[in-house]
Structure 1
Amino acid sequence: MKPLFTIATAAFCLVAASLSASAEAVKIGVIGIMSGAGATWGVAGVQGMQIAIDEVNKAGGLDINGTRQEVQLIVYDDQYKAAEAVAAYNRLVNEDKAKFIFTMSSASTLAIRDQVEADDVLVLTSAYTSKAIDSETKHIIRLYSTPQDYVPAIIGWMKAHLPGDKVVLVYPNDETGWDFANFSSKAFETSGYKIIGKELYDRAQKDFQPLMTRVIAQNPDVIDFGPTSPSTAGLILRQARELGYKGGVSALGGSGPREVVAAAGAAAAEGMVNMLYADHDNESYQALAKTFRDKIGQDPNELIVPYYDATRVLMRAMELSGEPENPEKVRAALSQALPMKSLQGEDIAFGGKATIGTDAQFMTVNYIGNIRNGEPVAVGLAK
């Protein structure tokens, strides 16, 4: 397995002379979803990290007790597969000697969880599954707020603004989908909805007409796609509309409303409720999106925001620890690095005990999104 890339940009080369010749680069590894259905998340997340690292390196690198150290990013593609994640993890730890690793999917995070707890590393994950972290977990941190933190607020908004109370869940048949279904079912019911059906599908699936025919026959008022990847959510939605479905839709776990619109069409996606990582009217987000667009040639998935912010938090903790090769000390310094202002101006705090039993999570602020005329509009905070 070869790394997809390492961060060694021309801009970094310009400041290399100012970095300590005796200090080795601090390595951050990523086990990302760089291909397949979730690639829009993986590419955005990795580029968010890269931009944050480039900013630090352009300023001279991390300030470690007065000595400057560069930061290097090493990325492997797990293709949304647990086996590939294990191979990538072993390569990062044993060959690349990375002490800090970001993971994206629930399946991949669970596949390496036991190894992580036994190794001298620190993992930051965006995995939704509640199984990733418990009160005994020492080496894994969640890099943003979980559905338990934001879904109730979004469902409450839906109940106040969408007609009807019957919901069908259409989720991926994997660890992410199973765990999300357990939580969202309770959240919908608490807000006065009735779950009248649950349908699971394979992430590689393309033809959803038989599945959606069954769903529509149940006459739901709302269909929630949960943690479905945005391109797939758009495909399912388009096929549902073609079959005559006219009710409400939501995607409470998967960011990417513009990808949904691209796949479904603006008319089909009109009124869809999303969780948003970004307020698209925020000037700081627009600047970050422009940097991504200039490099990649398209708009980013909103996952760029929490990965950009989390990388900044981690690098600040490295500086405060004084020992960026000591994961235990960096882990302890996270609570010193936070609270910190997010890219968009909201506070990022350190917590999680109320929902996951231990303080091992960056508490971030998300937005309630509503697609209007083909564009995501932030209609409130979800926290």
Structure 2
Amino acid sequence: MKLRVPLRLIVGASAIALMMGVASGASACQITIGATGPLSGAATQWGLAIKGAADFVAAEANREGGVLVGGQRCKVSVVAIDAKYTAEGAAAAANNFVSQNVKFILGPIGSPEVTGMKPVATRNKMIMMSDSYAKDAIGPRWPLTFHVGPGPLAWGDPIVKLAKQKFGIKKVLIIAPNDQAGTDVADAAVSVYKKNDVEASTEYYQRGTTNFAPIVARIMNANPDVLDTVSTPPGDAGIIIKQLRQAGFSGVIGRLGGPGTEEIFRISGGKDVVKNFYWFEPVFIDENVKKLGDSYRELLGAPPPENNFFYLFAAGGRAMLKAIADAGSTDDAEKVAVALRKMTVDDPNLGKGRWIGQEAYGINQELSLPFGVGLLIDGKDQPLVRVEAPDGK
């Protein structure tokens, strides 16, 4: 005997099944952020800042139910991989992301990592929100590679002017690793100092060096007013400064490069040892920026990463997720890149900024935001100086 099921029940059941399918599809919508940087070695602080930023923007988006993409709420997850501050490590990380179909990457940082990852990311159409001071860090050849912050050519001038005013500097020696990451940023720093009538020379060392005694001797013989550690990893910079002070160097310490001052103070022996110091802070920390740190504590139940690159990469991660929403795609990196380029830069915590880079790199894909200049005079902290977002000219 055949059972006859009323048509209205069939229609009703089909509608329920369709609704369940839509709901299932909505919950299955995922955006995976790849977080990569040096999670080991002397530059670990920088990698932890990137991972912390990725974890934060994912938690922030998920608190709202996910990112709204084409009418669906998409949950955000994070895959973190150590790029080891080497080109080989970054290339391996990129290939790992490819195998997991990750299209949006926060990081890497530093020229070796960016150099190693760019070709893989470009070939596989993955967006990189990176940071590097290499001369070819971004450019028309790499249309999916973005910068979360510009380099010394954009922001170095006001820092050197302030250093001249505070310390009366006339002669600087710049120390950096003997690879593209070091030489490119050192060249940029030399041009900034010379533009401000400060005599500039360079000294290079091999990464992995632990005994800087021969280099310290050469620095002492050169007798500069300033030793600038530019983007030397904080661990290395701390050792160099400590050994210099032990050798009797009484000059000023400068840093036209990556942050990490707390680590430098720790390794060198403290602020009384460093004594006179000026440095680039990627972010001007005010009450509004501190709220971002408070949000991190609330969402993740831990203090935010110490390194201020965290705030820049958080701004970059937010921009990337907004571009995904604006583009209406969770897998088309080229569409998302178009949305990024069109985006007005106005982070809720870091403030108003702009896309720059055309003059230096031939492409406006550097996220320029307000930054700070840190000062230590006779071992005493001075108020951070705010500088508005550079225009790259």
Q: Distance in 2 between matches of 1:31 and 1:339?
A: 24
C-alpha displacement of 1:298:
7.8
Mapping of 1:48-197 within 5 angstroms?
A: 48-93=53-98, 95-102=99-106, 103-195=108-200, 197=201
**AA in 2 matched with 1:218:** A
C-alpha displacement of 1:192:
0.4
Q: Distance in 2 between matches of 1:176 and 1:376?
A: 30
8 A Cα contact 1:32 1:77, kept in partner: yes
Q: Tell me whether 1:241 sits opposite 2:245 in the alignment.
A: yes
Among 182, 205, 209, the alignment partner of 2:209 is 205
C-alpha displacement of 1:287:
3.6
C-alpha displacement of 1:342:
5.1
Q: Distance in 2 between matches of 1:297 and 1:69?
A: 27
Question: What is the Cα-based RMSD across aligned positions, in Å?
Answer: 2.1
Q: Give the length in aligned residue pairs.
A: 362
Among 267, 272, 286, the alignment partner of 2:277 is 272
**AA in 2 matched with 1:87:** A
- Bigger Rg, structure 1 or 2: 2
**Paired residue secondary structure (1:29):** strand
C-alpha displacement of 1:375:
4.4
Aligned to 1:232: 236
Query: TM-score, length-normalised on structure 2?
Result: 0.86
C-alpha displacement of 1:336:
3.5
Mapping of 1:287-298 within 5 angstroms?
A: 287-290=291-294, 295=301
**Paired residue secondary structure (1:70):** strand
C-alpha displacement of 1:299:
5.7
Q: Percent identity?
A: 24
**Paired residue secondary structure (2:35):** strand
Q: Tell me whether 1:319 sits opposite 2:328 in the alignment.
A: no
Aligned to 2:14: none
Unaligned runs of 5+ in 2: 1-22
Among 330, 338, 342, the alignment partner of 1:336 is 342
Q: Distance in 2 between matches of 1:162 and 1:226?
A: 18
Aligned CA distance change for structure 1 residues 113 and 335 (closer, same or farther; 3 Å): closer
C-alpha displacement of 1:184:
1.1
Q: Tell me whether 1:30 sits opposite 2:30 in the alignment.
A: no
Aligned CA distance change for structure 1 residues 106 and 20 (closer, same or farther; 3 Å): same
8 A Cα contact 2:231 2:258, kept in partner: yes
**AA in 1 matched with 2:78:** L
Aligned CA distance change for structure 1 residues 221 and 317 (closer, same or farther; 3 Å): same
Aligned to 1:11: none
Aligned to 1:219: 223
Aligned CA distance change for structure 1 residues 131 and 56 (closer, same or farther; 3 Å): same
Query: TM-score, length-normalised on structure 1?
Result: 0.88
| Deviation string, structure 1 residues 233-257 (Cα, Å, up to 9, x no partner) | 1221111111111111101102022
Unaligned runs of 5+ in 1: 1-17
